[in-house]
């Protein structure tokens, strides 16, 4: 009996020791605006492995955030362009969509070519973007905005809706797009009833929770691979997306990056950066 208890104690001790020494890679992305700290998700193993390989080799260093759009994202990491690699060497990675990995603020996702030439939605082998996005209300999240806009345009062609059409036109001319959205949403129910259409596009509970609090870019979910998360330094992201840009959304004053990798205990990362690792 005594030996059995000793054996159980040893087993439990080993398990606890294993948990306490479990490690994870901490990514640091250094810019002239400051440093962002991030972790990569095990749920996207091919993307994680590829990013770590490029970062450890120093290949991301001196690349830039070459496309930034405020309230949307900052895209960078064009290793292939920096190294002047021939286009036939620009490899891609199979998509790794996961319903638990969404485009909330701070998410790191892989850039890719459009569906028309990339129907498999394979990711770029180097370029990534960091989500800024914005906060949404629940009714907007649960509405198919493209369908609503199409239905609204049909609706305001009615002679009885002349005043509504004029209101829409004035807002459009003034580029008050947020107000346009509010107007369309305010008429959603009557449009559904009159045109006999369903304009709902229900989001998952975790999406609603994230996008109504921290914000993000929900329309990219399940179509672009999310593989990481910034856990400190979102203020740096906000500064990057506030940069003045040219017509191609490229910062006029380049925002270069250096990317480093450090293997740390998960407990240390959780304590220092307030990040809660998902349970396995």
Q: pLDDT tens digits, residue range 224-250?
A: 999 999 999 999 999 999 999 999 999
Q: Domains in the chain, start-ordered, CATH in brackets?
A: 22-137+213-273 (2.40.100.10), 146-195 (no CATH)
Residue 100 vs residues 53, 143, 217, 249, 274: alpha-carbon distances, Å: 24, 21, 15, 30, 19
Which tens digits make up the pLDDT trace of 48-101? 999 999 999 999 999 999 999 999 999 999 999 999 999 999 999 999 999 999
Instruction: State the pLDDT at residue 12.
Output: 46
DSSP secondary structure string, 76-137?
E--HHHHTT--GGG--EE-----TT---BTTEEEE----TTT-TT-PEESS-EEEE--B---
pLDDT at 278: 85
- Asked whether the predicted pLDDT for residue 222 surpasses 90, the reply is yes
Q: How far is CA 8 from the centre of its chain?
A: 45
Under a CB-based contact definition with an 8 Å cutoff, are residues 199 and 143 in contact? yes
Reported as a single tens digit per residue, the pLDDT across 1-37 is 544 444 444 444 444 444 457 999 999 999 999 999 9
Q: What is the mean pLDDT of the chain?
A: 92
Distance CA 182, CA 98 (A): 31
| C-alpha–C-alpha distance, residues 249 and 253, integer Å | 12
Give CA–CA dist 77/110, Å, rounded: 10
- How many whole angstroms separate alpha carbon 59 and alpha carbon 184? 47
- Across the range 111-140, mean pLDDT stands at 96
**DSSP letter assigned to residue 202:** P
Token pair belonging to 44: 């996207």
Specify the pTM.
0.86
Among residues 16, 45, 42, 11, the alpha carbon closest in space to that of 280 is found at 42
């Amino acid at each position: 009996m005594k030996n059995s208890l000793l054996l159980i104690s040893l087993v439990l001790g080993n398990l606890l020791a294993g948990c306490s020494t479990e490690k994870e890679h901490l990514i640091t992305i250094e810019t002239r605006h400051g440093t962002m700290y991030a972790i990569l998700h095990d749920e996207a193993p091919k993307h994680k492995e590829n990013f770590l390989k490029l970062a450890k080799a120093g290949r991301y260093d001196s690349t830039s955030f070459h496309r930034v759009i405020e309230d949307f994202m900052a895209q960078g990491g064009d290793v292939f362009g920096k190294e002047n690699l021939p286009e036939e060497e620009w490899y891609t990675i199979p998509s790794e969509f996961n319903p638990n990995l969404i485009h909330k603020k701070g998410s790191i996702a892989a850039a890719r070519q459009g569906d028309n030439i990339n129907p498999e939605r394979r990711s770029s082998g180097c370029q990534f973007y960091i989500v800024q996005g914005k906060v949404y209300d629940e009714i907007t999240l649960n509405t198919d905005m493209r369908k609503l806009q199409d239905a609204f345009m049909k609706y305001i062609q009615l002679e009885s809706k002349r005043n509504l059409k004029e209101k829409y036109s004035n807002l459009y001319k003034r580029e008050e797009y947020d107000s346009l959205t509010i107007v369309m949403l305010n008429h959603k129910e009557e449009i559904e009833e009159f045109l006999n259409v369903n304009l709902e596009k229900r989001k998952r509970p975790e999406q609603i929770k994230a996008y109504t609090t921290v914000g993000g870019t929900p329309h990219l979910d399940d179509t672009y691979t999310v593989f990481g998360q910034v856990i400190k330094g979102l203020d740096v992201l906000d500064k990057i997306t506030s940069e003045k840009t040219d017509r191609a959304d490229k910062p006029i004053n380049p925002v270069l990056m250096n990317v480093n990798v450090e293997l740390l205990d998960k407990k240390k990362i959780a304590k220092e950066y307030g990040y809660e690792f998902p349970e396995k």
